Amino acid sequence: MKLFGTPGSPYVRKARLALEEKRIAYEYVHAPAEVRETQVVPLNPLGKIPVLLGDDGRAVYDSAVIVEYLDGLVAEPRLIPQAFNDRIEVKRWEALGDGIADAAVLISHDYRKPEARRESAEWYAKQRQKIERGLAVMSRDLGSREFCFGASFTLADIAAGYALGYLDQALPELNWRKPYPALSQLAARLAARDSFRKTLPAPAV
């Protein structure tokens, strides 16, 4: 099985975290923007990463579908609970992680444009509010518990972990740790896991 991605993408990291947690062997194929047309578009018409290519030739995208696919492929450890309400709760955590990452990706891509072509201050404020409201709900729902949902590690922890990690990487000036000490402790616990250590992107130079 192959996973096409780039190390800086939070969605690719989500898929890699699921592969690592489930101990599924895979080949990581570096697919930066220059090769997307030839390497990714034939597998995913949307041209986005991550894409998972199975040994049977089946291509799976996007990251939410990849995680669900992997969780069905290898039963243990279970990342998405089977009971309906529990499953929806864990998927809601995933939506929070994705939404925080979406806003942070938009901001960090806009930063790279020449100043004259950047979005307005209102647009930036709107994206930051999404991140801040998302963090507030994550913090409230985590409370003083060890895991984001239930009594064991799930996709909810992957979602919080990759979103918080991406904020550190893309928007370090946000300083989210100070207002959210419980999320900060969660991030430290997650960072100590093999899966998080193995998928930590190298610092930008």
Ligand X SMILES: N[C@@H](CCC(=O)N[C@@H](CS)C(=O)NCC(=O)O)C(=O)O
Asked if residue 48 binds ligand X (CB under 6 A), the reply is yes
Nearest distance, CB of residue 79 and ligand X, angstroms: 15
Asked if residue 9 binds ligand X (CB under 6 A), the reply is yes
Nearest distance, CB of residue 162 and ligand X, angstroms: 10
Give the one residue of 4, 16, 21, 63 binding ligand X; rule: CB under 6 A.
63
The secondary structure element, H or E, covering residue 66 is: helix 63-73
Asked if residue 93 binds ligand X (CB under 6 A), the reply is no
The answer to whether 45 touches 135, Cβ cutoff 8 Å, is no
Please, what is the Cα angle at 170 between 143 and 27, to 5 degrees?
Answer: 95
Nearest CA-CA partner of 156 in 174, 141, 172, 178: 141
Asked if residue 47 binds ligand X (CB under 6 A), the reply is yes
Distances (CA, A) of 76 to 20, 24, 79, 128, 148: 12, 11, 8, 37, 19
Nearest distance, CB of residue 63 and ligand X, angstroms: 3
- Of 43-51, 73-81, 142-150, 159-167, the window that binds ligand X (rule: CB under 6 A) is 43-51
Nearest distance, CB of residue 70 and ligand X, angstroms: 13
Integer Cα distance of 59 and 174 in angstroms: 36
Which spans of this chain sit near ligand X (rule: CB under 6 A)?
Answer: 9, 11, 47-50, 62-64, 105
